[in-house]
Amino acid sequence: MTPDGRYLVVRGRLWRRANPDLPDHVRQALVDRLMAARRAVGRALKAGDAAALAAARGAVDEAKIALGERGPVWWDDGAPDLNRHMARNTPYHAWFAALEAQGADQA
């Protein structure tokens, strides 16, 4: 997780985290909705149902927007959204390089 808590780093890429200000019960309900939508995507793919796939992918998008992982950013300091950017190409580059170096030292 980045020092400001906005992103997770997966294989060097930043992925926006859910809004930490969401109440636990709201966040859990949205995560449940997201997981149900992802299961629906899998079922639609397996069935080859294009209409169901489009609906399921739309439900995934809606849940991710509600969680704050997509759509408008949940922070209010004017910082840009760097979702899906490579960490090394962002203002997090020095932090990420230090993190990578620390991992290499432990290997």
Residue reference for tokens 């390089």: 97
The answer to whether position 73 is within a domain reads: no
In this model, does residue 104 exceed pLDDT 80? no
In a shared domain, residues 35 and 62? yes
Domain that holds residue 85: 1-17+81-107
The answer to whether the beta carbons of residues 56 and 65 sit under 8 Å apart is no
The token pair at 100 is: 């990578």
| Tens of pLDDT, residues 5-16 | 999 999 999 999
Same domain membership, residue 62 and residue 31? yes
21-53 tens-digit pLDDT: 999 999 999 999 999 999 999 999 999 999 999
Are 4 and 28 in a shared domain?
Answer: no
Q: Are residues 6 and 32 in the same domain?
A: no
- Domain annotation covers residue 74: no
Residue 107 above 90 pLDDT?
A: no
Count of the separate structural domains present in the chain = 2
